[in-house]
Chain A
Amino acid sequence: MCLGIPGEVVELLTDQPDLAQVEVSGVRRAINIALLEEEGVAPGDWILIHVGFALSKIDEAEARAAMEFLEQMGAAYDDEIDALKESGDG
């Protein structure tokens, strides 16, 4: 929960400006990007996601390292990543 899950922004949703389609661990889902309003988010950007919200932009190398770190954490983070994948679009 305190560790962000990395994802790649695939598409901005023009009808819902707070949301973007983000690919996380091979699955696409909508993530709230309103907290990155000041930085701006574009397709191809990598973000760190905490409980459904993007809190920071990162680069691809960091994203891959962060994902591997989470995968190593085992069951607890498998559960969190599964929960994220199943979680709706808000």
Chain B
Amino acid sequence: MRYVDEYRDAGKARALAARIAELCDPGRTYTFMEVCGGHTYTIYKHGIEDHLPDNVRLVHGPGCPVCVIPMGRVDDALHIAGQPDVIMTSFGDMMRVPGGSASFLDAKAAGADIRMVYSPLDALKIARRNPGRRVVFMAIGFETTTPSTAMTVLRAADEGLDNFSVFCNHVTIIPAIKAILDSPDLRLDGFIGPGHVSTVIGCRPYEFIAAEYGRPLVVAGFEPLDILQSIHLLLTQLAEDRVAVENQYGRVVPWDGNGKALHVLSQVMEVRPHFEWRGLGFISHSALRLREAYAAYDAERIFDLPGVRVADPKSCQCGEVLKGVLKPWQCKVFGTACTPETPIGTCMVSSEGACAAYYNFGRFDRAGVREAIRS
């Protein structure tokens, strides 16, 4: 297929890999974080690390929406699902995310009315068709899904639907990147920036990373050549002793993002003072809730939530994986007690999770060998 070949041309990949090798200073190491789980997927699917010099390391970031949902929020959602007349709805990815005692799938099997929807608009439709029931949409995701939730709330308000609400768990990517930059555990030399999140927020919100932290960021597409080109751009900046935000994915990502989506988002939602991220703990100003004007659609105000913080299982090291401190295969339960079928940690749940990507492509063996040779 000619269209796809354009992004996967083996000759171009080899040429890029050679240029990457030339740019690297053999006397130092380079550690780059890919923030987005979709990039993690490409990196393991296509063995991108095998094309890089040994002193260029890629670490995986927190950009997998279900991976960062803390167990206490799953428990809160299950508490709502257990109230009279409630129909709980969410995306398919949410179904296997473990809570303190159960997942959505477990609760559904035990009799709760929990339904998988593709879009928040489908949850709205369920509300229209079931006027005697209270339909709650558990909203999750970064800025790729947030505008859709906001649009759905506006639509519910327009229609005057009084049996629909949103349990808002939307998170924002910038504070998570800042938390990682502030973390003493990890020294990063640059970022491969998220592709589709940036279609909404654009490239400007990343500028503080260059200006205040002196690190480059390149917004990247999802094809193997996109990733290689982005690494090349990062290394070029470092070789030229400059740092900036660059957009490798200009064919999809406008520099200023989607103005209408940002407008709707800020009309309906506001930043929370703090929010817990699974494995990362509380991060200031890192999540969104509905504004007071839309209180009638806010499940957190409608239902009395336990709001109990549930510690991650001791054996689970998702936090270290989400911060890029550990490779998935370095976690004690990886591939043994924790698998995609019976996940202990969220990174093993979604196909965008770093652990699931490693597990599914059997990359951990090779990575383990490489790591053993290096150490």
User: Which A-B residue pairs are the 6 nearest by beta carbons?
Assistant: A52-B119, A76-B351, A90-B121, A83-B118, A64-B3, A87-B118
B residues sitting closer than 8 Å to A (CB atoms) are 1, 3-4, 6-7, 36-38, 41-42, 45, 63-65, 91-93, 116-122, 124-125, 140-142, 144-145, 147-148, 151, 194, 196-197, 199-200, 222-223, 251-254, 258-261, 264, 350-352, 360
Measured between alpha carbons, how far is A87 from B117 in the docked complex, in Å? 8
Measured between alpha carbons, how far is A61 from B223 in the docked complex, in Å? 12
Contact of A2 with B144 in the complex, beta carbons under 8 Å:
yes
Q: Which residues of B contact A51 (CB under 8 A)?
A: 91, 118-120, 141, 145, 148
Q: Which residues of A contact B1 (CB under 8 A)?
A: 64, 68
Measured between alpha carbons, how far is A2 from B117 in the docked complex, in Å? 15
A48 with B196, Cβ < 8 A, contacts A53-B147, A58-B252 known = yes
Contact of A4 with B144 in the complex, beta carbons under 8 Å:
yes
CB distance from B363 to the nearest CB of A (A): 15
CB distance from A3 to the nearest CB of B (A): 5
Chain A 48-77 interface mask (CB, 8 Å, partner B; 1/0): 101111011011111011101100111111
CB distance from B358 to the nearest CB of A (A): 15
A residues sitting closer than 8 Å to B (CB atoms) are 1-4, 32, 34-38, 48, 50-53, 55-56, 58-62, 64-66, 68-69, 72-77, 79-80, 83-84, 86-88, 90
A2 with B251, Cβ < 8 A, contacts A35-B258, A38-B260, A52-B120 known = no
CB distance from A78 to the nearest CB of B (A): 10
- Determine which of B6, B45, B122, B200 lies in contact with A88 in the assembled complex, contact meaning CB atoms within 8 Å: B122
Measured between alpha carbons, how far is A3 from B249 in the docked complex, in Å? 14
Q: Which residues of B contact A1 (CB under 8 A)?
A: 65, 91, 93, 140-141, 144-145
Contact of A90 with B125 in the complex, beta carbons under 8 Å:
yes
Measured between alpha carbons, how far is A45 from B120 in the docked complex, in Å? 24
CB distance from A75 to the nearest CB of B (A): 8
CB distance from B203 to the nearest CB of A (A): 14
Measured between alpha carbons, how far is A34 from B147 in the docked complex, in Å? 11
Q: Which residues of A contact B197 (CB under 8 A)?
A: 2
Given A2-B145, A55-B199, A61-B6, 4 additional A-B pairs, CB 8 A: A48-B196, A56-B254, A58-B251, A87-B118
Measured between alpha carbons, how far is A48 from B197 in the docked complex, in Å? 12
Contact of B252 with A87 in the complex, beta carbons under 8 Å:
no
Contact of B119 with A80 in the complex, beta carbons under 8 Å:
no
Q: Which residues of A contact B261 (CB under 8 A)?
A: 35, 55
- Determine which of B45, B122, B151 lies in contact with A35 in the assembled complex, contact meaning CB atoms within 8 Å: B151
A2 with B37, Cβ < 8 A, contacts A51-B91, A52-B118 known = yes
Can you list 20 A-B contacts (CB < 8 A)?
A: A1-B65, A1-B93, A1-B145, A3-B38, A34-B151, A35-B264, A36-B258, A38-B259, A50-B148, A55-B144, A55-B147, A55-B261, A56-B199, A61-B6, A64-B4, A65-B7, A68-B1, A72-B45, A77-B351, A87-B122
A61 with B117, Cβ < 8 A, contacts A32-B151, A48-B252 known = no
Measured between alpha carbons, how far is A72 from B38 in the docked complex, in Å? 12
Measured between alpha carbons, how far is A87 from B115 in the docked complex, in Å? 13
Task: Give the most central of A55, A59, A80, A84: most B CB within 10 Å.
Answer: A55
Q: Which residues of A contact B351 (CB under 8 A)?
A: 73-77
Return the chain B residue nearest A86 by Cβ: B118
A73 with B41, Cβ < 8 A, contacts A38-B259, A52-B148, A59-B251 known = yes
Task: Give the most central of B261, B264, B350: most A CB within 10 Å.
Answer: B261
Measured between alpha carbons, how far is A18 from B338 in the docked complex, in Å? 44
Measured between alpha carbons, how far is A75 from B340 in the docked complex, in Å? 12
Q: Which residues of A contact B41 (CB under 8 A)?
A: 73
CB distance from B49 to the nearest CB of A (A): 18
